[in-house]
Structure 1
Amino acid sequence: MASIFAFFDSGGEMEFLEATPDQVFAALDPRHADPLAFTVQRCSWGGDGLEGHISNTARFVGTYPPNPVATGVVTALGGPQEYIFGNLVICGSRWSPTEDEPPSMCGLSQAQQDLIGDVHTAVREEAASTQR
């Protein structure tokens, strides 16, 4: 089933894709390495969260270019302050009522899309103003 995901290319451009997780992960890493998932915003008590996905080899600088815009977006959303290389996908995560089950991946809600879009715009504007 297709859902909405935020896709950031290595140049920092963002678009919302309606796709299946397999299609998104193929776009995430053209070399088809297994993606690494990390929590951007925790989901709890029935609320939705955000989850980031990068290529398993994205930490190798020689393989993928640094992505300062994606790094800034993740940091502004409260995610880990770790530099991102290459492409990034942000999806939703849904709280699981039992502790045995991890949160499940899901598409982004409209509110999450609006938030990510606004943060992306602000980070791009800040990056442009510092390059002047």
Structure 2
Amino acid sequence: KGWEHHDGALYDPETDRLNTFPLFRRTMRMAKLEDTVVPLVAPSEVVSKGWATPLAMVFIDGGHGLEPALTDYRLWAPRVMPGGILAIHDVFPDPKDGGRPPYEIYRMALASNLFEEEKAVKSLRLLRRLG
């Protein structure tokens, strides 16, 4: 609450936080991806500790604070396999359009020379991991 981009429709009064998981599940059902996409709902620090499998796609759509965005990037970008996709949501080059941290991690990924931009769809950036 109180955040500039707070969406009351996603607010869960029981937890006093935003809850996008029902929307995610509906989207996966509509896209017929429920048998393909395996959601893991936990903080990045928790899930990444035991993760060893290279990933064909990582979709970062997390917190817009600098620390949460950097944590997601640092923990998950290295796990994208060569040829795989790193997708970052809410990338706004113009600061008046949205928060800066997703844009900053997008710039970090490009500056690493490990990723190149594949496609931009509205605020979503798709980066391919170079081999």
Instruction: Give the TM-score normalised by the residue count of structure 2.
Output: 0.30
Larger relative contact order (CA 8 Å, sep ≥ 6): 1
TM-score normalised according to structure 1 size: 0.30
Give the structure with the larger helix fraction: 2
